[in-house]
Structure 1
């Protein structure tokens, strides 16, 4: 199997699916010749239901003949993408070859973007539960490559989330690329007309092309 496919996971705080982070992203990727589809994971449900649903979708893609799977998630969708990329087991059907995260929630240990934590874990989540759903705590040397981008002005999901994950990836010598742009609010999506932040697409395409070539064959 040598085909490749990117599963796009829109954000929305685990309470909704943000439209600008769904079909427009797929249309952009398909326009570049990259097979892609939106996956609308379950909302307003507890962990691990969204993760199990995404894992089932990855296996469904495998059954349809896809060889290489990439995940592209935004905000809460980025958290879910990271969970799937970092918790894959030994079954090759679950393999994720790379992950692209945009202004993503990565930590359930901070108080920033608390609403997502309340949906996933409830009001009285233990420190262990919060740690077990924080991406930086799940990184190992076997993690796939990550491309992460954020803006320094994001007040809803501060760039601290990106820095936490990037530090863990670096500590485990996992290949990764990080871009933190100076300006732009949360939820930029394709970031058309958003100044420097719009260049995330160009950087990501080059990076994804490199990943796909690395895993070809």
Structure 2
């Protein structure tokens, strides 16, 4: 039987850790999206529940209860990872990040690769290049200062082989342009990072699981699930990729 444990961090941010059972298992740390402004409920517990069914422990990281700015955001991730490493029932650590959460997850892979065994990135924010930037995310992450604008453009920070990465996006995404994923994949190829990429032709930003449980408000859940049936295959494909590592 699963049970939960709250991991409090030095700020008001925290992680909600769920053990699938009282045994050692690998864990997925989930970074929901929300433009670095809030935690998307459509990309948090509902996703964790699906991953629990695959015999992984999970932790949903609520990283915007205190709206830390970069680089404090990365220091807090280190605090979280060190706490997880002390948990006796946790094996390998994998990350799953959505949108701006994908940015923080990818940054974590780059900065703390020795902690991480692999990552799944869903329509991630990656670049601060003018033709690709998701302005709202970086405004929330950096505040008024643009001192670190190049440093948080993550394609510029990938200079060595990373743990395996699965990434997916849609060509129709008008919020976080698919060019972010193309830019990322270029660097993954150059650094010989094992990766798998899936680009779906259709679908807006924020599809999450693309199932009825995560249908946006004022959208018929059955219609949503039927419309994005193909896109919903990403989770199974991504977990198969992770399990092959």
Same fold (TM over 0.5): yes
My pick for the range that moved more, 138-147 or 55-64, is 138-147
Is the counterpart of residue 120 in structure 1 residue 141 in structure 2? yes
Match of 2:244 among 200, 210, 213: 210
SS in 2 for 1:132: coil
Q: How many Å apart are 1:124 and its aligned residue? A: 4.4
Q: What is the Cα deviation at residue 35 of structure 1?
A: 1.3
Number of the residue aligned with 2:19: none
Q: Which has the larger strand fraction?
A: 2
Larger Rg: 2
- Number of aligned residue pairs: give it: 205
Contact kept, 8 Å, 1:183 with 1:196, in 2: the verdict is no
After TM superposition, where is structure 1 displaced by more than 6 Å over at least 4 residues in a row?
none
State the match for 1:72 in structure 2. Answer: 96
Q: How does 1:153-168 map to 2 (within 5 A)?
A: 153-168=172-187
Q: Match of 2:166?
A: 147
Superposition pairs of residues 33-48 of structure 1, within 5 angstroms: 33-42=55-64, 43-48=66-71
The normalised TM-score by structure 2 is: 0.79
Checking the alignment, whether the CA contact within 8 Å between 1:109 and 1:130 is kept in structure 2 is no
Answer whether contact 2:25 2:56 (CA < 8 A) is retained.
no
Which of 30, 35, 50 in structure 1 is aligned with 2:73?
50
Bigger CA drift: 5-14 or 48-57? 48-57
**Greater relative contact order (Cα < 8 A, sep 6+):** 1
Shift of 1:196: 1.7
Unaligned runs of 5+ in 1: 212-217
| SS across alignment from 2:210 | coil
